[in-house]
Structures are given as structure tokens and as C-alpha cells.
Structure 1
Amino acid sequence: MSLHFSVLASGSTGNAIFVSDGDQSLLVDAGLSGKKMESLFQEIDRDIHNLSGILVTHEHSDHIKGLGVLARKYKLPIYANAKTWRAMDGLIGQVSTDQQFHFEIGENKTFGSIDVESFGVSHDAAEPMFYVFHQGDKKLTLITDTGYVSDRMKGIIKNSQAFVFESNHDVEMLRMGRYPWSVKRRILSDVGHVSNEDAALAMADVIGDQTERIYLAHLSLDNNMKEIARMSVSQVLAEKDIDVKEQIKLYDTDPNRPTSIIYV
């Protein structure tokens, strides 16, 4: 009954995270095709039939691409806030009303031994939110798709044992890259995505005595690389006297392959 998770996929092409206590299991987002989602579950040796539900962060396609397919095929309940439900109308196909549940920002819901706390982020979606998973004194935070990390967010997520934390882009790669300026401006804005450096500065404020590992997530396919993200975050944390070899460890996530199962 120990809290554990796997980042099934993370990146600009699709996102999904599995969280479980061994009894209740949850999927956060389903941003890949139904077929790919099934294959990712096979890779971590878990059965989609055993899911207790799907938690939605927001309505962008890289978070809901396979949502309707999985919900219909496996009769899974979906949890999202009211504005996100409205924004998903027409995007996920027909989902039975008895599979639609509301989970508003600031609410807590309990699944077995896991208490799930939702919190708002700053992103250009209807009402984007992410989640903190609590089990006793264990704490797992998922936070991506935010243009900045406010003091309010930091207070909620502080001192988690594990973080799945956005490290979306290298600013210079983005500025020099092929995207039109309108897209670059959106990514760099307060409702876009955090850069490697800004992510690291936020991490420095929320890392606590309990923090053991950070998974760098939602890396841009065009404007970042795993090595650059890890190096940038490591440098900033080192400047803040946080040792990424002894005190905490940084881990990669991948857009196509799941991480191993991690026990918090």
C-alpha cells in the first residue's frame, strides 16, 4: 500500500502519469492515442482495467488525446473541473454522464489511502490545475504547464519527497528556433511554460529536508534537450547550495518511454 508512480510519457507530444497505492490507481492525463496508452501500461506491467479514474489537468490535446477512447473502452470515471469539462466538449467524444465527475481547484479527494489535492496553475487553458498526492507523510507533486510558479503554488507543493516538475525550454534555443514569434511570445509569457532556469529557481524554493528526487518533465521537443535541462537545473541549484548528487537527484522523463515504477 505504498505510494508509487511512473511518468508514462512527458513532453510537447503527449503527457500521462500513473499514480497508485497498490490498491487504488489513478491516471493523470491521457495525452497520447489509446493504443499508445495501452502499450505504455504494458511496459510498466499494470492493467488499465484496474484504474480507479483519470484526473485531467486541462484540455490541451497533449493531455487529453486518448482520454475519451480510454474512458469509453474501460468504463473509467473522469475527474476535471467545471470549466475544463466545458472546454473539452467536442474534443473527447461522447462520455457517459455517470463517468463525469467534478474536481475543482482547491478541493481534496480521497482514493484508498491517497489524498489528492488540486491547485491552480498559470497556463492558457480554461482553468488548468495540477495535483499533490498525499499518503501519510509521503508527498508527490506534479506541476507542469505553468508560465510561472507563484508563492501560493510553492506553499502547496513545498517539501515533497518527489516532484514531477516542468523544465520546458532553454530560452536561447527557443529564441533562435523555428517557431513564429507569436508562439515564442506565448511560451515565454506568464501563461506559457517555465524555462529550465526559472524551473530551477522555483525548485530551490520548494526543495525541503524530505525531498529526494525531481523528474524534469514536459521538455519541448524543439527547444530543449535532456542534457541541457539537467545541466541548467543542476547549475542553478548548485548556486543555491543544493547538491544534486548527494542531497537530491535529478531524473529524465521521455515523450515515448515510461520511467520505472518509483516508490515515494
Structure 2
Amino acid sequence: MRFSVLASGSTGNAIYVENDEHAFLVDAGLTGKKMEQLFAEINRDVKKLSGILVTHEHVDHIKGVGVLARKYNLPIFANAKTWDAMDRSVGTIPLDQRFHFDMEAIHSFGGLSIESFAVSHDAADPMFYVFHEGDKKLAIITDTGYVSDRMKGHIRGADAFVFESNHDVSMLQMGAYPWNTKRRILSDVGHVSNEDAAIAMSDVVFEKPTQIYLSHLSKDNNMKELARMSVTQTLQSCGIICGEHVHLHDTDANIPTKLVQV
């Protein structure tokens, strides 16, 4: 199983996951043209996708879904409430390309199994995904105001995580955002901070080689170096030393990560 975080941030999100049989895109939150460019940068072809898995209807996750679906005749997977919420935004998608992926469900595609789980975010019915192949596990969790014990149960022990590290609380509180926006981000249906993300990670990381990709960083209220430092220090305070079995990686809003094997 291999993956690349094609783009991650408030301007657009997309994650590519493949094995030898199938390839999926988790969200397509950039224009169709930009998505094609990102695929070219990892030497992959959009038309070979087995489908797009949608997490929720916010524009930074679905901007390119309709364009890619129509241009490449791709299956689109989402739960019923998300379909209802995004229907107008993605435009017409033929019925034979519309598939329901229910909350807390598992679908198998050859040797690749995909598990969905609920998160806490201000969308219709937001959910994220865990990919399994053999004994390997990739967990994707962003766009959640907190990480519950139930969420931790789904992602615990993954070999690789794409984990939200959205904001530094002090930067957000002192920044220029209106108070209502700040309150929404800090709420239980907003986004997790660097420190809260690290505390959650400390409960789900096993003592084995583990790759953590810090994702969905706010362009106004966070910085890569700050996120890495905050997560490293908080994990260390929880007894987990980065650079031993746990390794942190940056993601970017415009540059895909290298395609790596889980």
C-alpha cells in the first residue's frame, strides 16, 4: 500500500492511496486542472482511479469532485447526508457513478479494505477513512474538533497517520480572525490544535515504525516548523520520542509528498 498527501490545508485537500490492484483519492478539494497537475507530479494517472472517497461537503474537500467524476467517469463514494449536502456544489453526476459509503462501514476492493468512521466537524455527516492491506494500516483523520475514544479505536496502531494539526492556539487567539470564526475553530466541531493533536497521537501510536504526516495546517494560524516543534514536545512529554520509532513529516497546500509505502 502506497500513499501521497497531494495537498493539505484550508485551500484544498486531497490524498492518494493505492495498492497493486486499486487506487483511490480521498477528497478532491482543488480544481480539476490542479488535481491533474498534482497527479503528474507523483507520476500517476487520474483516469486509473478506482474512485473518489468524499469525507464531507466543505469546498476545500470537494471543489474538483464533479469535474473529475465527469471527465474521467469515476465512481464517487460518500454517505447519504454528504451526498445531499454536496449535490448542488458538485453538479450533475450520473447515477451509475454515485455510490453510498455508510458511516462506520467497511468496503473491500480486492486486498484493500477501507473503513469509515465519524468525526466531529460542522458538516452534515463528516467521516474519514482507515485503509488496511494485510497487516498494514493507514489512518486519515483531519477536520475534527476533538479526537474521541471511539475515533482513537478506529485509528489506533496505524503504521502511518495523516493527522490534523490545524492551529497554534496563541496564534489563533491573537490573530485577525473574527471572534465567531475563532470560536468555531476552537469548538468541538472545529479543528484540533497542535498540542491536542499530539495528545491524541500519544494514545494511538504503538511502539513500531510509525510515520505521522501533520496535515490541514492553517495558513494564518500555524507554521510547519511550529507544528512540528509543538507536536514533538508534547509527544515527548507523553513519553514518545520523535526520531526513534515515530517520525514526523510536513504536508503542503500545493506540493505533494513523495509516494511512500506503508
Instruction: State if a TM-score over 0.5 links the two structures.
Output: yes
CA displacement at 1:156 relative to structure 2: 1.0
1:107 matches 2:105: yes
Amino acid in the other structure paired with 2:95 = T
**CA distance in structure 1 between the partners assigned to 2:209 and 2:75 by the alignment:** 32
8 Å CA contact 1:187–1:193 kept in 2: the answer is yes
Equivalent residue number for residue 131 of structure 2? 133
SS of alignment partner, residue 212 of structure 2? strand
Amino acid in the other structure paired with 1:169 = H
Equivalent residue number for residue 208 of structure 1? 206
SS of alignment partner, residue 89 of structure 1? helix
> Deviations along 1:37-58, whole A, 9 cap, x unmatched?
0000000000111100000000
CA displacement at 1:247 relative to structure 2: 1.9
Structure 1 stretch displaced more, 192-201 or 211-220: 211-220
Equivalent residue number for residue 33 of structure 2? 35
**CA distance in structure 1 between the partners assigned to 2:37 and 2:21 by the alignment:** 21
CA displacement at 1:206 relative to structure 2: 0.3
> Deviations along 1:10-50, whole A, 9 cap, x unmatched?
00100000000022000000000000000000000001111
**CA distance in structure 1 between the partners assigned to 2:222 and 2:6 by the alignment:** 19
**CA distance in structure 1 between the partners assigned to 2:140 and 2:86 by the alignment:** 21
**CA distance in structure 1 between the partners assigned to 2:63 and 2:53 by the alignment:** 14
1:1-264 matched pairs, under 5 angstroms: 3-264=1-262
SS of alignment partner, residue 89 of structure 2? coil
Could you list the runs of 4 or more consecutive aligned residues of structure 1 that deviate by over 3 angstroms after TM superposition? none
**CA distance in structure 1 between the partners assigned to 2:208 and 2:122 by the alignment:** 32
Query: Alignment length, in residue pairs?
Result: 262
SS of alignment partner, residue 81 of structure 2? helix
Coordinate RMSD, CA, aligned: 0.6
> Deviations along 1:174-217, whole A, 9 cap, x unmatched?
00111100000000000000000000000000001335110000
**CA distance in structure 2 between the partners assigned to 1:246 and 1:137 by the alignment:** 21
**CA distance in structure 2 between the partners assigned to 1:128 and 1:96 by the alignment:** 23
TM-score by length of 1: 0.98
CA displacement at 1:141 relative to structure 2: 0.1
In structure 1, list runs of 5 or more residues that go unmatched. Answer: none
Amino acid in the other structure paired with 1:58 = H
SS of alignment partner, residue 153 of structure 1? helix
Structure 1 stretch displaced more, 205-214 or 156-165: 205-214
Structure 1 stretch displaced more, 207-216 or 50-59: 207-216
Amino acid in the other structure paired with 1:10 = S
Amino acid in the other structure paired with 2:152 = K
